[in-house]
Structure 1
Amino acid sequence: MTGIHASRPPRGDRAYVTLVTSDDYATGANALIRSLNQTGTEADIAVLHTGGVSSGRLEELERLGVRLCGVDLLPTSAAFNNAHAREVLHRVAPFDKGDKPPLHTPLDNFTKLRLWQLDYARCTFIDADALAMQNCDRLFEYPEFCAAPNVYESEADFHRMNSGVFTARPSQATFDHMFETLDVPDAFWRRTDQTFLQTYFTDWHGLPHHYNVLQYVWFNLPKLWNWKSMHILHFQYEKPWQTPHGKADQLRPLIDLWTTIAEGGPLPDLAKMPNPE
């Protein structure tokens, strides 16, 4: 696997995959992995990680049973790197809906594409700032490429994709073609991997909303919130471990839930969880 250095062989041909690019995201991945382990999944769990993660934090994740997969940044051109430098990207396409802490660089986001170089037949990617609320193994039966809508402000956003959860079929040939398409003259991917993937997979299939419920739905679209059907909860923008947290009062029940799982507590009984009013 060129560009990937794995800690052990794969366990089976299916894997949940996440990306960790800093110690902060290792904090998120710790909770995600704990939640996945509680769902009774039979799939492997692989953590793509860059050089921005300390060895101690990686050892913590490995003790949870995951397969560590060290990855190099993509060998993108100087022009591409300059166009996607943090200060350039955030000036041209600022995040104005919430506070997104600088946990990594925009170029780190594109290492998500290394998933297509993994030695699995089927993968489900989940961002490290998410939790699995119940078994999600059915996602492995969905085709490539499926992702849930980027809905957190208005129901009109159902046509947009969120790359925090998606299904994929690893293939070196696909990776090679993706890279050729990614780094072209004057390339600018406004929301990095998310914009690229929606453009590359023009006929992407929509996953049911409950496979990637964005936390802002809690207060923006409470009628769409349903604990019983929720499979993955995604903490876009502010992170539950973040201090200070500008929306802590609005999101307190979700932060408390994340904290419980991160500290080794059980998944909740979704039937008993109160929906927002």
Structure 2
Amino acid sequence: MIAQTTASEGLHPSSPPAASQAFVTLVTNADYALGARALARSIRRTETTADIVVLHTGGVDISALKPLAEFDCRLIETELLPLSDEFNARHARRNVHDQAPFTKGRKPAFHSPLDNFCKLRLWQLTDYERCVFIDADALVLRNIDKLFLYPQFSAAPNVYESLADFHRLNSGVFVAEPSPATFERMLTALDAPGAFWPRTDQTFLQDFFPDWHGLPVTMNMLQYVWFNLPGLWDWRSIAILHYQYEKPWEKDHPRADSLRPLIELWHAYLTGKNIPDPAALENPARAGASS
């Protein structure tokens, strides 16, 4: 039995909120802190008035978070969820990767399945009327404030290989309404006896919100679409680019050559130098099309 938590238990904010809405991300190590820098810069360039909240776990040294001050991020230190020892053992990195191996791409060495569940603490952020969660391995390419008008629970489909992917959600971007009551129900459902969530928070959220509202794929364009489904790729309409599987800050990863234009774009946002107009970028070549 999980003890009932208070609304803010397990959260340690560094400052008060400055808006009624927030873009929220999660940083679990120094690599994702680097990702959050590029993400935060990309969000600020859209001239939004929403807060940028960075949830960060104890695995992140404060020095890795200091660069986020440039973007007026609200830092909130986040404890792991109060889950049973049995749950934690089932969802340890080795067990998750052994029982549900990733066969479509390579998860980086720093992938920590248990940390992923900290996303659910978004529902404790009751300072905000609505939140949009965005993974730290993503970029926002144009203003997306309209997402705050979408209902809970809204997410884009997990499309990156074929149209059959449309029936599954991707939890890298979603719209949610903070609520302590919802958070408590989540903890109970999450740690049900014997429960195993092979894709961690993503599998759980699809189960918890079976009637999820679909966002356009352009609100969470997964990088593998670039070479798997190039016909879906149009820079003029993409609002959020999500670097699923291999990360753009990894050196010489297996897909680096195939994804070179996307990696170069991410580095431009990281450094703030020579950031192009995404709408003017060249789309991937389509099979059968003349070059």
- The TM-score normalised by the length of structure 2 is 0.93
Query: Does the alignment pair 1:91 with 2:109?
Result: no
- Paired position in structure 2 for 1:149: 157
Amino acid in the other structure paired with 1:223: G
Give the 3-state SS of the residue equivalent to 2:71 in structure 1.
coil
The CA distance in 2 between the partners of 1:260 and 1:97, in whole Å, is: 27
Deviations 1:33-70 (A, max 9, x none): 01001011111100000001111011121332100011
What is the correspondence of 1:171-250 to structure 2 with a 5 Å cutoff? 171-250=179-258
The CA distance in 1 between the partners of 2:100 and 2:275, in whole Å, is: 36
Correspondence for 1:258 among 252, 262, 266: 266
Task: Percent identity, please.
Answer: 61
- C-alpha deviation, 1:21, in angstroms: 0.3
Amino acid in the other structure paired with 1:189: W
- C-alpha deviation, 1:266, in angstroms: 5.6
What is the correspondence of 1:1-277 to structure 2 with a 5 Å cutoff? 1-118=8-125, 119-265=127-273, 267-277=275-285
Runs of 4+ in 1 over 6 A off after TM superposition: none
- C-alpha deviation, 1:105, in angstroms: 1.6
- The answer to whether the Cα contact below 8 Å between 1:38 and 1:267 also exists between their aligned partners in 2 is no
- C-alpha deviation, 1:156, in angstroms: 1.2
The CA distance in 2 between the partners of 1:199 and 1:21, in whole Å, is: 24
Deviations 1:119-146 (A, max 9, x none): 2110000000000000010000000000
Unmatched segments (≥5 aa) in structure 2? 1-7, 286-291
The CA distance in 1 between the partners of 2:275 and 2:206, in whole Å, is: 32
- C-alpha deviation, 1:29, in angstroms: 0.6
- C-alpha deviation, 1:270, in angstroms: 3.0
Give the 3-state SS of the residue equivalent to 2:259 in structure 1.
helix
Cα 1:135/1:266, change in 2 over 3 Å:
farther
Which deviates further from its counterpart, 238-247 or 56-65?
Answer: 56-65
- The answer to whether the Cα contact below 8 Å between 1:38 and 1:266 also exists between their aligned partners in 2 is no
Say what the alpha-carbon RMSD is for the aligned residues. Answer: 0.9
Unmatched segments (≥5 aa) in structure 1? none
Give the 3-state SS of the residue equivalent to 2:68 in structure 1.
helix
- C-alpha deviation, 1:267, in angstroms: 4.4
Which deviates further from its counterpart, 96-105 or 122-131?
Answer: 96-105
- The answer to whether the Cα contact below 8 Å between 1:145 and 1:205 also exists between their aligned partners in 2 is yes
Instruction: Give the number of equivalent residue pairs.
Output: 277
Give the 3-state SS of the residue equivalent to 1:248 in structure 2.
coil
Which deviates further from its counterpart, 101-110 or 114-123?
Answer: 101-110
